[in-house]
Amino acid sequence: MKKVILLFSIVIIYPSVLFASNLRVKSDAVILSVDGVTATVELNLLWENSWCNVFNYDAVYVFGKFKLKDEGKWNSIYLEENSVVIENEGYDADIRSVGFFVYRNKEGQGDTNVKLRLRWKLNGNSEKLLTEEMFHSRQIFFAFEGIEMVYIPTAPFYLGDRYSVNTFNSTTLGGIPAEDDIIGSNSGFTYTASSNSNLAVNAADRKNIALQPDKIAWSGVAPAVWQVDFKTARKICYFGVSGEYRLLDKGRAVPDGIWYLEASSDALTWTELWSGGSAFWGTASQSYPIAGAIKIEEPAAYRYYRIRIPEAESAVVDNMIRINNVAMSEMVLDDPGPVLIDETEHNLPENYPNGYRGFFVMKYELTQEQYVSFLNKLDCSSQYARTIGGVLDALKEGDYIFGTDRTRPSCRNGIILYKQREKSDDPYVFACDLNPLNLPNSDDDGQTIACNFLTPADMLAYADWCGLRPLSELEYEKMARAPYPYVPKAGEIATGGTNITGGTGLKNAGKVSEYLNSGNVNAENLIEGPVRSGSFLRNTRDRTECGISYWGVEDLSGNLAEIYYNCDIYGRQLDGRKQGDGGLDIDGNTDVPLYYWPQDSMAFGVRGGSYAGIEELAVSDRRNAIGYFSSLTDRKPTVGIRLGLGRLPEAESSSLTLENGLSSGSVIIRDTVCSATEYTITGSVSETRFNNLYSWYCSKDYGKTWERIKGESHKDLTLVGLTLNVPFGTAMEYRYKRCLATPTGSGESGVVALVVGHGFKMNRLQDTLIPCQEIKGFVATTPLPSYFKWKIIDTDSTKMPNEEDDFHSSYKVVTSDLKVGDNWPNGIYYVDLSVESQNKQCNWSRRLEILALPQTIDPFEGISESYMFMENAYVLAHRWTGDDPQEWHLVEDECERIAIDEKTGKITFKDIVAENDLVECHFTASLICEEFPDRVYMKRAKYLCRSCKDYYDSGMRTNGNYLIDPDGFGGIQPYVAYCDMANGGWTRFDQISAGWHGFPGHNARHYKNRVTDYARFVALASVSTYQKITSVQGTSESCCDAYYFMNYNNACITGLPCGSKGSGNWGDVTVTINRNWSNAMYKSYFTTDGSVGGGNQGTYFSQMWFK
């Protein structure tokens, strides 16, 4: 097998005693074999003091480039999936689209020498397909470059420090949450505009144009006004606008210059509340919820609000203004801060990297050597874009690229034009030459110094070219401080303290061993440029003195201000899932689509401060986070870059176990807590080798919202005093879940619930016992499943409850419960109630009082009704409702028709009929309390019958009004009806209306009779045999139609006096009732029909009778 010796790069050279350093490729990278599909490459990586501990680890990111012999442009090497094989034990590799990571997989620290093999896909780069022959004929040059990385594990952390300029201090993170937005929340609001007013409401539809691209925006001609009428005065504290999404186009439909928010109480006189430039006009791809909340400094209550735009940027095109969404909030969005970033939802786009998930980050800022290597692998047009443009053509060899002085380094940037191009399409060659007194690329020419003068466009291009991605400012704060529950100190820098001492005493300037003799941060312009990362590292110094963060990342405060995507309107559109693909466009810019990596200058800011500053070095200082760059190519001597890449999260199992032994799963499990003693929820243990970070959450509204339990970061959760916040006799359900974060992933447990309650409630503490009078009784209610025990102290007897379940028990004392021998209850008696929770953990008790009175009360006093229903029968109305036995007797019965049950008082009729001429019948009954017969009470009443026929049968013969109850107990109440006793006991039904009505299913109006009390009609018909109507009138009407109400089965009744047709008075008609209740006429309440062929016709009658 033939070996091919390759051109290779030694890219990173860093000294450090504490962390990985001196990364280099040891010896030549070698092609071991080529099989037509892949080339197998072997190389060695060597770096000092690599580490892996229980918190995190360092890593090396390796990516490859190649070029053909006679070409200047270098292309990306793509590897086969899972093709990196490490010969050394204790290391893993993680392949990405362009490069791969190498890191320890076991705890350890020390020098690392890793031999690995990988398979290079010959057809992996579609722009440059390779063949085996190209390798054997030595037409291919390639190099592998490495970047030292640090893994920042998945973990919650705090944003902001309550102190620094523009620090994060609101959970909204600069936006207006939909739940706080009142625009579009009330159908009563109206929206108008200066033009296309019918579309003004579209700006209030709460639709996100990124998810609903068919959304229609409001547009109007400038000068333009969009207005809302809230109908009542509203005090708006924040507002925001989301306009047309076209970031890079000129002539956009956005304001050109100042625009305004104005308010009015009458829509005539307007008050300016806010004004600002086009930078505040949102044009993000995610149009809703609104990403940019604009604060109104002096809010007041107004009914009308309007957005006024005097001029449009598109004036030379169509002079239009477009608005996708408007949001307004009455809420005060500022919280005291800091803001906890964890696994819960935040007011950010789903794919914006908020820092919670684990990610790799460059251990140090991009160096001048790395940037030179990048430039030397680009073609000429790309080199223009990534340096100073066409000015390169005028430079001489040895001239310095960045800064205003070409004869010497500016701000310690030593990159020079090393070699002019020989042909017009040849690339330039660059080198490092910080010390112009010797040859370029000498050991003191600043190769390891951080590279300044870089722009957002440079950052995007380098990230795309090497296969990494830009980072967000939230990721910056994550890697610059310790994780939750650590709370940031006011003004602290990334070293963990607030002490800022600018470095002095530069030694070994420009060399790989360059260091500062004193200080802990490169700041205050004491050096006048960046220094080598790690310049403060010493064996004897702690973290606050040597310039590294909690996680081992260098120079996050000072040295160079680093470019990050901000969290404002444009920056938050960054999609953290997208990494570079190894290629650039023909102009040397990133070719990643805008919807992944936004390219508006307002999306970028710098964090961490630089060698020239001091106050902005604080981790939470955001004074330069927004509006810092005038364009994507705005070069500044204090600015550098740092890149990263997310790690694919691994799902970690997490479960909880309650004290009752139940464990969490897909359904909520519960236990009860009834005391203030400790209760422990036990969590499972992850098998990861790293330290686990736990966070606990509680919901008090059945899982609608969750709050982190402050200070709880252990595996188990011990709760104390839960019942102290729950009122006695009530219960609350507290739900809990635990989130587990490991350096490599995260997991969330199932939900468990604790029903916390204690004690019980009584409906009363005292009651009064009167013989034969129902006592109100005691009812105990407990919030938890319990056992109940009732005991009368005076008689030392336990009593059974009247009703009981797990949560309720009721007990009503009767006279016999308190009676001792022949002694009647008299005075105060005591009842003890004991309640025990069913989990046997808690007991409660209460003593209750009963006042026993030794006398009955008149059962008939104050009752106007004669009858009442009890157990489906009539009894005389009375007030005795207790359980004490009663004794009834019939003292007098005028008509000798009724009987009374002696125990229940139920009234029944005898079968015999008395022949007499009494107008009505009366009877008298007596009632005594059987166990306390202190008095005999008398009641006289008259009979109550179902109908007039019943009264007639009992001997009544006088016409008049009688009280009847056709359906007995449980239906309609008794009512007074007129009885025709002279003709055998007919009952007149008076609930009939007459008039011209439309008949169901027809438009014609007919004169009809209509039932107005359906229930009485059915009840009376049900106990009657005959039905009669009088004075029937018809007009060209079939007489059989007049009697549907009597027959109920749509059949004509034979023998009617009117014949088949006719007009005029048909007389009285009596029929036998056929109780077919399904007839449609009957159900519609109509008793007569009427012709459906024309209007103002019909059949009707005078009166209706039943017998």
For 198-237, the pLDDT digits (tens) are 999 999 999 988 778 888 899 999 999 999 999 999 999 9
Q: Which of 285-294, 615-624, 635-644, 1052-1061 has the lowest mean pLDDT?
A: 1052-1061
Q: How many CB atoms lie within 10 A of CB 321?
A: 32
d(CA 1079, CA 1046): 11
Q: Given a cut of 80, is residue 870 above it in pLDDT?
A: no
d(CA 1047, CA 1045): 6
In order of 4, 71, 377, 925, the CA distances from 139 in angstroms are: 11, 10, 16, 126
The pLDDT assigned to 101 comes to 94
Of 444 and 958, the structure prediction assigns the larger pLDDT to: 444
Q: Given a cut of 60, is residue 1001 above it in pLDDT?
A: no
The pLDDT assigned to 296 comes to 92
Q: Given a cut of 90, is residue 1054 above it in pLDDT?
A: no
Q: Which two tokens stand for residue 936?
A: 């005999």
Q: Quick one: pLDDT band at residue 613, thresholds 50, 70, 90?
A: very high
Of 398 and 1019, the structure prediction assigns the larger pLDDT to: 398
Q: Given a cut of 70, is residue 1048 above it in pLDDT?
A: no
- H helical segments located in 702-765: none
Q: Quick one: pLDDT band at residue 634, thresholds 50, 70, 90?
A: very high
Of 716 and 165, the structure prediction assigns the larger pLDDT to: 716
Domains annotated for the chain, with CATH where assigned, are 4-151 (no CATH), 178-335 (2.60.120.260), 650-757 (2.60.40.10), 761-852 (2.60.40.10), 856-943 (2.60.40), 986-1106 (no CATH)
d(CA 996, CA 209): 59
Q: Given a cut of 70, is residue 1090 above it in pLDDT?
A: no
Q: Quick one: pLDDT band at residue 1063, thresholds 50, 70, 90?
A: low
Mean pLDDT to the nearest integer, 590-616 = 94
Q: Tens digits of per-residue pLDDT, 818-855? A: 888 878 888 999 999 999 999 888 999 999 999 998 88
Mean pLDDT to the nearest integer, 12-28 = 41
> How many CA atoms lie less than 13 Å away from 586 in the CB half-sphere?
0
Q: Tens digits of per-residue pLDDT, 103-143? A: 998 888 888 889 999 999 999 888 889 999 999 899 999 99
Q: Which helix (H) or strand (E) holds 1047?
A: helix 1044-1047
Q: Given a cut of 50, is residue 1089 above it in pLDDT?
A: no
The pLDDT assigned to 1042 comes to 42
Of 324 and 246, the structure prediction assigns the larger pLDDT to: 324
Mean pLDDT to the nearest integer, 788-811 = 94
Q: Quick one: pLDDT band at residue 610, thresholds 50, 70, 90?
A: very high
Q: Given a cut of 60, is residue 248 above it in pLDDT?
A: no
CA angle 1032, 1035, 1041 (to 5 degrees): 65
Q: Given a cut of 70, is residue 1047 above it in pLDDT?
A: no
Q: Tens digits of per-residue pLDDT, 486-524? A: 889 889 999 988 889 999 999 999 999 999 999 999 999
Q: Helices (H), strands (E): how many in the chain?
A: 11, 65
The pLDDT assigned to 484 comes to 82
The pLDDT assigned to 336 comes to 60
Q: Given a cut of 50, is residue 346 above it in pLDDT?
A: yes
Most confidently predicted of 25-34, 43-52, 170-179: 43-52
Percentage of the chain surpassing pLDDT 90?
52
Q: Quick one: pLDDT band at residue 177, thresholds 50, 70, 90?
A: confident
Tell me the residue length of the chain: 1107
Q: Quick one: pLDDT band at residue 747, thresholds 50, 70, 90?
A: confident
SS3 category, 57 = strand
Q: Quick one: pLDDT band at residue 30, thresholds 50, 70, 90?
A: confident
Q: Quick one: pLDDT band at residue 350, thresholds 50, 70, 90?
A: confident
In three-state form (DSSP H/G/I as H, E/B as E, the rest C), the secondary structure along 906-965 is: CEEECCCCCCCCCCCCEEEEEEEECCCCCCCEEEEEECCECCHHHHHHCCCCCCEEEEEC
Mean pLDDT to the nearest integer, 513-536 = 92
- H helical segments located in 978-1036: 1014-1022
Q: Which helix (H) or strand (E) holds 606?
A: strand 604-607
Q: Given a cut of 80, is residue 817 above it in pLDDT?
A: yes
Mean pLDDT to the nearest integer, 1011-1026 = 82
The pLDDT assigned to 221 comes to 92
Residue tagged 């080798």 (tokens): 689
Given a contact cutoff of 8 angstroms between Cβ atoms, the answer to whether 62 and 25 are in contact is no
The pLDDT assigned to 306 comes to 97
The radius of gyration of the chain's CA atoms, rounded to the nearest angstrom, is: 47
Mean pLDDT to the nearest integer, 239-268 = 82
Mean pLDDT to the nearest integer, 582-598 = 94
Residues 6+ apart with CB under 8 A from 1068: 1028, 1029, 1030, 1031, 1032
Mean pLDDT to the nearest integer, 450-473 = 98
The pLDDT assigned to 890 comes to 94
The pLDDT assigned to 58 comes to 92
The pLDDT assigned to 691 comes to 74
Q: Is 83 left (phi over 0), alpha (psi -120 to 50) or beta?
A: alpha
Q: Given a cut of 80, is residue 816 above it in pLDDT?
A: yes
Q: Quick one: pLDDT band at residue 26, thresholds 50, 70, 90?
A: low
The pLDDT assigned to 1078 comes to 43
The pLDDT assigned to 751 comes to 95
Q: Given a cut of 90, is residue 653 above it in pLDDT?
A: no
CA 532 to chain centre: 46
Q: Quick one: pLDDT band at residue 527, thresholds 50, 70, 90?
A: very high
With 0-12 / 13-18 / 19 or more C-beta atoms within 10 angstroms meaning exposed / middle / buried, residue 258 is middle
Given a contact cutoff of 8 angstroms between Cβ atoms, the answer to whether 59 and 103 are in contact is yes
Q: Given a cut of 50, is residue 1079 above it in pLDDT?
A: no
> How many CA atoms lie less than 13 Å away from 1067 in the CB half-sphere?
7
Of 1010 and 234, the structure prediction assigns the larger pLDDT to: 234
Of 776 and 226, the structure prediction assigns the larger pLDDT to: 226
Q: Which helix (H) or strand (E) holds 994?
A: strand 992-998
Q: Tens digits of per-residue pLDDT, 435-460? A: 999 999 999 999 999 999 999 999 99
Average pLDDT over the chain, rounded to an integer: 84
Given a contact cutoff of 8 angstroms between Cβ atoms, the answer to whether 994 and 1009 are in contact is yes
Q: Given a cut of 60, is residue 1086 above it in pLDDT?
A: no
Mean pLDDT to the nearest integer, 254-274 = 95
Residues 6+ apart with CB under 8 A from 321: 219, 220, 221, 222, 224, 243, 253, 254, 255, 309, 312
